[in-house]
Amino acid sequence: MDFQLTKTQKEIQKAVRDFCKGEFDKDLALELDQKHEFPTKIWQKAGEIGLIGVHYPEEYSGQGLGCMECILVVEELCRNDSSIGAAVALCGFASELLMHYGSEELKEKYLPEVAEGRMLSAGAFTEPDHGSDITFLNTTAVRDGDAWVINGGKTFITNGGLAGFYNVLCQTDPEAKPGYRGMSVILVEGDRPGLSTQDVGHKMGIRMMATTEVILKDVRVPLSNLVGEENKGFYQVLNFFDESRIQVAAQALGTAQGAFDRALAYVKQREQFGRKIAQFQVNQHKLADMATKIELARLITYKAAWNYDQGSIDPKLTSMAKMVAARTAVEVCDEAIQLLGGYGYMTEYEVERFYRDAKITEIYEGTKEIQKNTIASGILGKMK
Ligand SMILES: Cc1cc2nc3c(=O)[nH]c(=O)nc-3n(C[C@H](O)[C@H](O)[C@H](O)COP(=O)(O)OP(=O)(O)OC[C@H]3O[C@@H](n4cnc5c(N)ncnc54)[C@H](O)[C@@H]3O)c2cc1C
């Protein structure tokens, strides 16, 4: 057992740190958050210097590295800024579906665009009536000559309206029983006639990212836009979650660490009752608890990534990592605000934004309750 990061992995962390230092500061982050504006220039620059799609093969402009290197990038980005970090981390959301299942033609066309920071991608699974439970879908895709004709609606879609393409989970066999055996992932380009988006409204955190409904009305795409196998889409999406949930865990981990860093710096300089507030034992214990939780979240997140890279994919471990890291992020950010007192509540001091950004990690890509279901079924196996 070796807990050391490799030389390359340490270099990646440093490269991301230097990138963040050079490309933005807290004032810019605050401005983008307040304007609800996607950090376009930062995202493009990240693509130019190879920080996006590090886990893609080199022939698609990736670095040919693994899930571990990918999550180190995500963690470090979110540690520097929870909002910009999340936006850059999710710029290629669900592109892994293409990477693992897409045809050569689709991969060649789209993956380099995402990796080089020229195109955003999206994964459209959730529907207004089907959130945690996507074993039922209302969105359908029907063959018509050389095309799929798609009708339906998705909601809460990250990068909606901005994405160059959406990997849409559709019902392709309406007769399938159970329904999830008749679902397929189909790539829909963002400029296809019949596709429209609408903002879902004001949200608590991750405000730089677009979150929209995606409405599909008689959208025609070539049959070759099928991603992977027909009627195997549900299983492909579940496999995708085994990877993407580790990335969410890293997002949560970086957010927790970033809030901790800020709180630590603050308590060392703030004085009350004639002493630094870091000298009060109650505050020292808060720091000890926060640091311990972060360390535990890091251990399980790295283990899940390492495991994934070994090819022994374990949904139970992935769900444990996402659940633990997300809870850690919420709890650590909460304590960080407490340590900063009234200043912590103020936007200028950043930790309130980290707190708002942390919460989504307990919701998207499967709520914490759904993670528990996965963990429990991993423990219990199939019960008769
Ligand atoms: C900002 C944001 C971005 C998102 N981005 C995307 C995206 O890019 N693509 C996409 O497809 N989706 C996206 N989502 C959707 C997200 O994945 C869903 O919101 C989430 O899966 C929960 O679904 P729901 O909101 O319908 O809640 P529901 O499924 O209605 O759940 C409500 C509550 O009931 C609980 N619950 C439901 N079923 C069970 C059960 N069997 N056991 C125990 N508890 C249960 C849930 O845990 C939750 O607490 C995004 C959501 C948000 C808010």
Ligand 1 pocket at CB < 6 A: 93, 122-126, 131-132, 156-158, 203, 206, 211, 360, 363-367, 369-370, 373
CA dihedral 167, 190, 211, 361 (to 10 degrees): 30
Ligand 1 mean position to 262 CA, how many Å? 30
Structure confidence at residue 1 (pLDDT): 83
Q: How confident is the model at residue 382 (pLDDT cuts 50, 70, 90)?
A: confident
Q: How confident is the model at residue 383 (pLDDT cuts 50, 70, 90)?
A: confident
How does DSSP classify residue 61? T
Ligand 1 pocket test, pick from 90, 155, 364, 377 with the greatest ligand atom count within 8 Å of Cβ, gives 364
Q: What is the pLDDT of residues 309-332, one digit of tens each?
A: 999 899 999 999 999 999 999 999
Q: What is the pLDDT of residues 132-156, one digit of tens each?
A: 999 999 999 999 999 999 999 999 9
Q: Whose CA is nearest to atom 25 of ligand 1?
A: 131
Which residue has 């890279």 as its token pair?
309
Q: Whose CA is nearest to atom 17 of ligand 1?
A: 364
CA distance 378 to 208: 36
- Provide DSSP, 198-243: EE----SS-TTS-EEEEEEEEEEEEGGGEESSTT-HHHHHHHHHHH
Ligand 1 mean position to 364 CA, how many Å? 6
Ligand 1 pocket test, pick from 126, 129, 138 with the greatest ligand atom count within 8 Å of Cβ, gives 126
Mean pLDDT of the chain: 97
Ligand 1 pocket test, pick from 93, 120, 156, 166 with the greatest ligand atom count within 8 Å of Cβ, gives 156
CA distance 283 to 273: 14
Structure confidence at residue 384 (pLDDT): 75
pTM over 0.85: yes
- Catalytic residue ranges: 365
User: Which parts of the chain are beta strand (E)?
Assistant: 121-124, 140-144, 147-158, 165-171, 183-189, 195-199, 211-222, 226-227, 271-272, 275-276
- Contacts of residue 326, defined as CB under 8 A and 6 or more positions apart, other chains included, come to 248, 249, 252, 358, 361, 362, 368
Ligand 1 mean position to 244 CA, how many Å? 15
CA distance 209 to 33: 9
Q: What is the pLDDT of residues 88-125, one digit of tens each?
A: 999 999 999 999 999 999 999 999 999 999 999 999 99
> Average pLDDT for residues 273-293, to the nearest whole number?
98
Give yes or no for residue 74 having a pLDDT over 90.
yes
Structure confidence at residue 256 (pLDDT): 99
Q: How confident is the model at residue 2 (pLDDT cuts 50, 70, 90)?
A: confident
